[in-house]
């Protein structure tokens, strides 16, 4: 998600989309973009609805394999392919491995879910490239312990229904999940500003467009560096900080005060890898394995609103942990089919 704020009096005339006008500004909100091939053949991870659909497709793949084995005596090998080795891809792979290796390992008579192939395809040299090399290597090792195949330097060059092309090789897939995130909206080019290779717009320290003091660009569409000279990551936490900073600077303009440069606060990063595995990086501190998983759980429970929500989540987690059961078997029918 990105946010473009255009103060009254701006000379740039950006596109019209979702518009809300107040006495001093116009706010336009756009989503990130994915390619047409992704929309046709992949399911992305962008909302709760998408995660429900992902679960449905995974469970239905096992059910279809069981049915095929019943009718023919054999079934097409199951292959769950995840495109992208960032936090989303790593967490997806770990979750699918947990479902196949534990939650559903004894649910079928004719197929063995534990034999399902789970693969990550990452174009860069390592998974979790935004983490330190030590944590990246730890994540790869933990994934492989779960039976996940990790393919680095493996860029997907073409996609079709039921298969993907990696380099010059076509690989059959049962379910393919797109976990590389989204690109900046192509509408950003309509600002008539320079863009980087990813289509993002370079901005000033106060998040305004270069040469257009009254235009602010934040989120997926903005390209900027923090005080240490490192690119601000395209994460929801960063976009939220940018949104608050932009709103504060607009209020300063209204009150006749000087703007304050944006300062990104890195609150740390965590990625879970299945039941008892995770990696976490908080400042200079690094954690991996079970300790990181416990830390992840503590942080996420603490961020929940209300004691009731915390209690319910803790109860579900404790039940899943000590019974080794998960609410993974419900197949919903109201999801879409691509």
The answer, yes or no, to whether residue 35 has pLDDT greater than 60, is: no
Predicted confidence (pLDDT) at residue 320 exceeds the cutoff of 80: no
Which residues lie below 8 Å from residue 203, measured CB to CB, with a gap of 6+? 209, 210, 216, 217, 218, 222, 223, 224
User: Considering the entire predicted model, what is its pTM?
Assistant: 0.74
Per-domain residue ranges for the chain?
A: 2-33+183-254, 36-181
Distances (CA, A) of 305 to 19, 205, 300, 310, 331: 30, 33, 10, 7, 29
Strand order in the sheet with 278-282: 269-272, 278-282, 285-288
The widest CA-to-CA distance across the chain, in whole angstroms, is 77
Residue that wins the pLDDT comparison between 151 and 209: 151
How far apart are alpha carbons 160 and 173 in whole angstroms?
10
Mean pLDDT of 42-65: 76
- pLDDT, residue 293, reads 87
The secondary structure of residue 265, as a DSSP letter, is: -
- What pLDDT does 33 receive? 52
Distance CA 77, CA 97 (A): 15
The proportion of the chain whose per-residue pLDDT surpasses 90, expressed as a percent, equals: 33
Is 91 an active-site residue? yes
Assess contact for 328 and 99: CB atoms under 8 A: yes
Q: What is the mean pLDDT of the segment spanning 127-139?
A: 91
Cα–Cα distance between 131 and 285 in angstroms, integer? Answer: 11
The separation between the first and the last C-alpha atoms of the chain, rounded to the nearest angstrom, is 23
pLDDT of residue 305 exceeding 80, the answer is no
CA 8, 33, 184, 127 dihedral sign is positive
> How far apart (Å, rounded) are the C-alpha atoms in residues 102 and 113?
9
What pLDDT score was predicted for residue 17? 42
The better pLDDT of the pair 46, 316 is held by 316
Q: What's the chain's average pLDDT? A: 79
What is the rounded average pLDDT of the residues 198-209?
84
More confident residue, 258 or 14: 258
Tokens at 289, concatenated: 């394995």
Among 188, 140, 175, 196, smallest CA distance to 31 is for: 188
Round to whole Å and give the CA distance between 49 and 323: 27
If pLDDT is split at 50, 70 and 90, which confidence band does 186 have? low
pLDDT at 90: 93
Please give the pLDDT value at position 72: 92
Q: Give the span between the Cα atoms of 146 and 97, in whole angstroms.
A: 6
Give the per-residue SS3 of 61-116.
Answer: HHHHHHHHHHHHCCCCCCEEEEECCCHHHHHHHHHHHHHHHHHCCCCCCCCCHHHC
Q: Which of residues 303 and 14 earns the better pLDDT score?
A: 303
Poorest-pLDDT segment among 108-122, 259-273, 318-332: 318-332
d(CA 241, CA 268): 14
**pLDDT band at 306, cuts 50/70/90?**
confident
pLDDT at residue 12 in the model: 46
Say how far apart CA 148 and CA 84 lie, in whole Å: 13
Kindly report, residue by residue over 257-294, the tens digit of the pLDDT. Answer: 999 999 998 878 888 898 788 999 888 889 998 898 88
- Regarding the domain delimited by 36-181, which CATH topology (the fold level of the hierarchy) does it fall under? FAD/NAD(P)-binding domain (3.50.50)
User: What H or E segment, with its residue span, contains residue 122?
Assistant: none
Quote the pLDDT of residue 21: 45
pLDDT of residue 268: 82
Return the closest-CA partner of residue 159 out of 11, 26, 249, 36.
36
Question: Phi and psi (nearest 5°) for 212?
Answer: -135, 85
- Residue 116's pLDDT band, with cuts at 50, 70 and 90, is very high
User: Mean pLDDT throughout 29-39?
Assistant: 51
Q: In whole angstroms, give the CA distance from residue 76 to residue 56.
A: 19
* Mean pLDDT of the region 68-73: 92
307 versus 23: the higher-pLDDT residue is 307
Cα angle 323-329-332, degrees, rounded to a multiple of 5: 145
Highest mean pLDDT among 220-229, 236-245, 317-326: 236-245
pLDDT at 82: 94
Confidence of residue 321 (pLDDT cuts 50, 70, 90): low
Average pLDDT (52-59) is 85
Which of 16, 53, 68, 91 is catalytic? The answer is 91
**Own/partner long-range contacts of 156-165 (Cβ < 8 Å, ≥24 apart):** 156/83, 156/121, 156/123, 158/37, 159/37, 159/38, 159/40, 159/41, 159/42, 160/41, 161/40, 161/41, 164/81, 164/83, 164/121
């Amino acid at each position: 998600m990105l946010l473009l704020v255009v103060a009254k009096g701006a000379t740039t005339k950006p596109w019209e989309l979702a518009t809300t006008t107040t006495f001093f500004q116009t706010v336009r909100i756009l989503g990130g973009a994915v390619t047409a091939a992704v929309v046709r053949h992949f399911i992305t991870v962008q909302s709760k609805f998408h995660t429900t659909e992902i679960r449905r497709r995974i469970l239905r793949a096992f059910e279809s394999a069981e049915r095929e084995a019943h009718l023919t005596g054999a079934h097409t090998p199951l292959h769950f392919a995840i495109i992208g080795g960032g936090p989303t891809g790593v967490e997806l792979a770990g979750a699918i491995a947990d479902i196949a290796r534990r939650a559903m390992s004894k649910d079928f008579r004719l197929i063995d879910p534990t034999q399902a192939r789970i693969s990550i395809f990452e174009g860069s040299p390592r998974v979790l490239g935004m983490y330190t090399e030590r944590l990246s290597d730890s994540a790869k090792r933990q994934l492989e312990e779960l039976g996940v195949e990790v393919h680095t330097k493996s860029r997907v060059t073409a996609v079709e229904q039921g298969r993907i092309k990696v380099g010059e090789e076509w690989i059959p897939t049962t379910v393919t999940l797109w976990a590389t995130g989204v690109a900046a909206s192509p509408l950003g080019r309509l600002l008539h500003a320079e863009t980087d290779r990813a289509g993002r717009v370079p901005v000033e320290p106060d998040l305004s467009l270069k040469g257009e003091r009254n235009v602010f660009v934040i989120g997926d569409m903005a390209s900027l560096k923090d005080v240490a000279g490192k690119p601000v990551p395209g994460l929801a936490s960063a976009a939220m900080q940018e949104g608050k900073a932009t709103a504060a600077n607009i209020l300063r303009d209204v009150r006749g005060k000087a703007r304050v440069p944006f300062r990104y606060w890195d609150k740390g990063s965590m990625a879970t890898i299945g039941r008892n595995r995770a990696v976490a990086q908080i400042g200079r501190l690094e954690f991996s394995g079970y300790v990181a998983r416990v830390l992840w759980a503590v942080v996420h429970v603490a961020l929940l609103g209300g004691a009731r929500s915390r209690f319910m989540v803790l109860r579900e987690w404790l039940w899943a942990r000590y019974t080794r059961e998960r609410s993974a078997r419900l197949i919903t029918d109201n999801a879409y089919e691509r």
